[in-house]
Amino acid sequence: METSKTSGYAPVNGLNMYYETYGEGTLPLVLIHGGGSTIQTSFGNLIPFLSGCGKLIAVELQAHGRTSDRDAPESFELDADDVAGLLNYLKIDKANFLGFSNGGTTTLQIAIRHAHIVNKIVVVSGAYKRDGFIAGFFEGFPGATLNNMPEPLREAFLAVTPDKDKLQVMFEKDVARMIAFKDIPDDDFNAIKVPALFIVADKDVITSEHTLKMSQLIPGAQLAILPGIHGAFIGELPTAKKGSRLPELTAAIVEEFLNEQ
């Protein structure tokens, strides 16, 4: 996949939005990273195994990685609109979407707000309600400082955007979004009708029960519960296990789902 990699920036809703493409195909898979992350920290260990999914488009969202910021808080709704805007810029009418963690919630918002561009969705460790997170999850956000951010994520941000002030802004906006996390209304969630695959770890920060509930609310949705902690089964940088074959297994599950007729 690296041999076919290209990258660029797109003017989207007041952002200079960074994206990368891999492979070829007419129905791309869009990869949406988690909070505090870059393309590489969320998906660097997964992308090599996704060649069977056709063309990949990986994005970096507002204030993350190489994408610029704007004078507005982060929101899942805005992120969804930005991804849709990028596809419009690239003249892509329809795509599959895979979002990890906060990117999973953004993927749900894409299916709600921009259903016409969605073929299938894969929600990896995403949530649509506050009670979907493990007990005590939100308690650590008030008063959080940059030192609470996993060091691999801090280093990865500065490697592509060597500006500590921008890192601080991104961190503060991410924290503010999580403190203010709002449930997706049931009527909106129930409007999702596209084929969906939900994947979660058995020791994730999103509960298996919440993920099961989401899979039951969308007609025909599929569910996979894999061993490990948040992000490990896709090889996310802070939690990846050296030598683990779980990213390869996860990619195979995603590929089979996307290629089903």
Note the pLDDT of residue 1.
65
CA 156 to chain centre: 17
Question: What's the rounded mean pLDDT across residues 44-49?
Answer: 97
189-212 pLDDT per residue, tens: 999 999 999 999 999 999 999 999
Nearest to 28 by CA among 65, 60, 58, 62: 58
Angle at 237 between CA 231 and CA 243, to 5 degrees: 85
Q: Is the pLDDT of residue 117 over 90?
A: yes
The domain made up of 2-259 is a member of CATH 3.40.50.1820: yes
136-170 pLDDT per residue, tens: 999 999 999 999 999 999 999 999 999 999 999 99
Query: Which position has the token pair 């940088």?
Result: 237
Note the pLDDT of residue 4.
81
Nearest to 101 by CA among 57, 36, 155: 36
63-80 pLDDT per residue, tens: 999 999 999 999 999 999
Q: Is the pLDDT of residue 27 over 90?
A: yes
The number of helices, as runs of H, and strands, as runs of E, in the chain is 8, 8
The amino acid sitting at 144 is A
> What backbone phi and psi angles, to 5 degrees, belong to 251?
-60, -40
Note the pLDDT of residue 13.
98
Q: How far is the C-alpha of 261 from the C-alpha of 257, rounded, in Å? A: 9
Percentage of the chain beyond pLDDT 70 is: 99
